[in-house]
Structure 1
Amino acid sequence: MKPSNFKILAILLIAVFLVATSAIWIRLSMEVANNFTIGFSLFLAASRLIISALILIPTVYKIKPSQVSTKAFYYAVIAGICLAGHFASWISSLAFTSIVASTTLVTTNPIWVGLLSRFFLKEKLSKSAILGIAIASVGGVLIALGNEGNINSGSNPLLGNGLALIGAIAASLYLMFGTQAQKSGLSISNYILIAYSTAAIALFPLPLLFGIKYTGHSEIIYVYIALMAILSQLLGHTGFNWALRWLSPTFVTLSILFEPIISSFLGVIVFQEIPPLSILWGGLILLLGVAVAVTGKNQPT
């Protein structure tokens, strides 16, 4: 039985908020450790996914290999590798650029999905999608220019912004392969178990290569990681997947655009990180471009 519209929207709103808190847990962990390096960022990314995968392991009995095509498992594994790339790059971006710039740029994945679909699947871009990409590009330029010389822009905003964009592209590939995995027969619960576990395995050795151990950190850091894994990953992202059962993908995608707004607001409260007007305007224009691209995705060219 379909839940009430109020319940669906309430759960979606909660999911957006929980995902938006991820940037705050990450930045708090970095400040407590006084470590803003890529190695520590990889430790946070790997730990988040390891905890998520471990929580999901009891559901492994639900996977019926004989009832699912091999292709579905391949898609899920590739999606997990892309997810690892997404978190590795995006979490690292928060060590170098502002919360508002990082979270705004990483939510451009609908645009990258459109471009990648055009390149790999030979799908045509609608006029609205092209217009949205152009508008978003203007916003991206304003964000890049607004970072220059600003105290709240991070230690290396150019690197941080680049990592956030890489994170957006990786997230787009994750969504594309994940969609194919589910279309090929995997349920959502089976899919996220395989994808999260693959991502965790892929990320596990990387912090060690940078000299960062999994033990010996402040207890509060492990609390922040657990909050990321449970609230932002399992509840937040699962909330999106659940909402997709009842709402159009376009509506859910548009709702996700509130994530950088919430993250930026929390950043002001927790870290007094007040971005300059140029970044705020750039972020709003970029999100407008994404919204135009998403709403025009299914329109004929």
Structure 2
Amino acid sequence: MRNWQDSDRGKPTEGQYNQPVRPSNLTIALILTAGVLAISFGSVLVRLATTAAGFESPGLSLVISALRLTAASLLLLPAWQALRGARLEAGAWIYAVLAGVLLAVHFATWITSISFTSIAVSTTLVNTNPLWVALLAWLWLGQRPSALTLAGIAVAFAGGVVIALGGSSNPGSNPALGNLLALLGALAASCYFLLGREAQRRGFGIGLYAAVAYSTAAVVLLLLPPLFQTPFSGYPPAFYLWVVLMALIPQLIGHTSFNWAVKWINPVIVTLVILLEPIGASLLAFALFGELPGAQVLAGAGVMLAGVVLAVLGNRS
């Protein structure tokens, strides 16, 4: 895999990108802002969908994940036309498909976690991506983290322990399991972003890449609900409305915005921006459900986010 620092300087090599000119910082900032606003609705829409269904279970969480990605894939069908003129380098398809598989793992674990723990805890833990990206860069790319980055990782994990031991006005039926699933979702998402970046570096445009990755994730997820004997049909119309809104807002707008941005700037910076999601999600959860995070959860979240900031500052290059 190529070193991501090359593209951070805005000087892609000849033939490396479909787009020869790096977008302006303002354009990148605006798209990242739209992405954060969009993904903030993700957890709330999941909660609304499960409420409309009338029950919560791992099987239903997988149904929601599968239908969300399926709807997004169908909306992206016109993007497949770009395949005719695409000039893809070796391995581009492998990275795009693997990214889709990791996206499926991300949704299967994270959306299921919301059935067992609170929205505040789930969204905080699932957004520890900068830590995992820094670690993966060390293990995968051989880029050793600085001492400040390692200190940030330690602080963030301490915050995660505080969160895991904390609670909220609606802590969930099995907080320990929910917290673990959310962390697994974070690791899968980190791999998904890095793989997607490489797929785009090897010739995929953002539309075609999103179509391939989301379709792959949909196929994987569609196989899982039958294992839990959970049907895809028979739910109230409101359930399907919330799922379609998930596909439109947090998926097509949110995820696609970050997938686009990760091609042009350091992935650690992109995942740092995603950390704003818990703030928006928690505010929406309070407004719609009256769900207040407990003091211990807030303290742990503060410690974790401080650790993430230290980790990113140590990885400024």
Q: TM-score by structure 2 length?
A: 0.87
SS of equivalent residue, structure 2 residue 292: coil
Q: 1:228-278, CA deviations, whole angstroms, 9 ceiling, x for partnerless residues?
A: 000111012223345557766555433221101111111111111111101
Is the 8 Å Cα contact of residues 250 and 295 (structure 1) preserved in structure 2? Answer: no
Identity of aligned residues (%): 44
Q: 1:205 to 1:251 in 2, by over 3 A?
A: closer
1:69 to 64, 69, 89: 89
- Which residue of structure 2 aligns with residue 203 of structure 1? 221
Quick check: 281-290 or 60-69, which moved more?
60-69
* Alignment of 1:220 onto 2:220: no
| Distance (Å, rounded) in 2 between the aligned partners of 1:13 and 1:27 | 23
Is the 8 Å Cα contact of residues 196 and 259 (structure 2) preserved in structure 1? Answer: no
- Which residue of structure 2 aligns with residue 175 of structure 1? 193
- Which residue of structure 1 aligns with residue 165 of structure 2? 145
SS of equivalent residue, structure 1 residue 67: coil
| Distance (Å, rounded) in 1 between the aligned partners of 2:180 and 2:25 | 41
AA at the equivalent of 1:238: T
Q: Note the C-alpha offset of 1:119.
A: 2.1
Is the 8 Å Cα contact of residues 149 and 314 (structure 2) preserved in structure 1? Answer: yes
Aligned Cα RMSD in Å?
Answer: 2.1
- Which residue of structure 2 aligns with residue 255 of structure 1? 273
| Distance (Å, rounded) in 2 between the aligned partners of 1:42 and 1:182 | 28
2:173 to 151, 155, 160: 155
Q: 1:243 to 1:77 in 2, by over 3 A?
A: closer
Is the 8 Å Cα contact of residues 79 and 175 (structure 1) preserved in structure 2? Answer: yes
Is the 8 Å Cα contact of residues 210 and 256 (structure 2) preserved in structure 1? Answer: no
Structure with the higher helix share, 1 or 2: 1
Q: 1:10-34, CA deviations, whole angstroms, 9 ceiling, x for partnerless residues?
A: 4432321110110000011112222
AA at the equivalent of 1:215: S
* Alignment of 1:32 onto 2:52: yes
> Which consecutive residues of structure 2, in runs of 5 or more, have no partner in the other structure?
1-20
| Distance (Å, rounded) in 2 between the aligned partners of 1:109 and 1:252 | 9
Is the 8 Å Cα contact of residues 86 and 204 (structure 2) preserved in structure 1? Answer: no
| Distance (Å, rounded) in 1 between the aligned partners of 2:301 and 2:282 | 10
AA at the equivalent of 1:211: Q
Q: Note the C-alpha offset of 1:42.
A: 0.2
Q: Note the C-alpha offset of 1:290.
A: 1.4
- Which residue of structure 2 aligns with residue 233 of structure 1? 251
| Distance (Å, rounded) in 1 between the aligned partners of 2:265 and 2:98 | 27
Q: TM-score by structure 1 length?
A: 0.92
| Distance (Å, rounded) in 1 between the aligned partners of 2:302 and 2:103 | 26
2:80 to 49, 56, 60: 60
AA at the equivalent of 1:185: G
> Which consecutive residues of structure 1, in runs of 5 or more, have no partner in the other structure?
none
AA at the equivalent of 1:97: T
* Alignment of 1:51 onto 2:84: no
Is the 8 Å Cα contact of residues 56 and 193 (structure 1) preserved in structure 2? Answer: yes
